[in-house]
Amino acid sequence: MAATTSTKTTYKKLSQIYWTKQKQIQLIGPYRLQGNIIKGHQRGRQIGIKTANLDPQQFENELEQIINAQLNEGVYIGYARIDNDKDIYKNILSIGTNPHFKNKNITIESHLLHKFQQDFYDSHLRIIITGFIRPSLPFETMDDLIQSINTDIKFGADALDNQSHSKFIDDDFMTKIIELNKKK
């Protein structure tokens, strides 16, 4: 299916506003979220961009802070840590209703920039959000969505190398050992 004029215009706006003209991604927060990883819609798995999903009901107060800061549903960057593992990973995440799929409920989907050998459902995920890439948008085709996600990943990964973001790797929220309450 060929892209429509509106989709082409959306891509033009995205590339001009979010992916090329910005020297740095908009710094925000930081905002801190944590909870147990839940099974999502499995769409990321289907398109080769796996995500670790959190249940937004686990931290309604923190989401309210993000909403009160007048941030859009959209694509964000930051860092993530699973359980008390020593590694902290770059993280590109989507917070919102995913207008491409017309979801009714808000989802939080984290794409950790690492190739994991196995799933880690019910593991504890800590996220620190440091930047905003772009608002959520519906796309004409699945290929358009995948292309946009891959551009977000590249753009976000590069931005996370910047000291204004990377300093949050050492944030106490990310580095401290916590008591884990995993489901059995």
Q: Please state the three-class secondary structure of 60-99 as a single string.
A: HHHHHHHHHCCCCCEEEEEEEEECCCCCCEEEEEEEECCC
Query: What is the token pair recorded at 120?
Result: 């880690």
Is residue 145 classed as helix, strand or coil in its secondary structure? helix
Query: What is the token pair recorded at 141?
Result: 């085709």
Compute the distance between CA of residue 35 and CA of residue 183 in angstroms, rounded to an integer: 12
Element (H, E) at 37: strand 26-38
Give me the active site residues, please.
Answer: 109
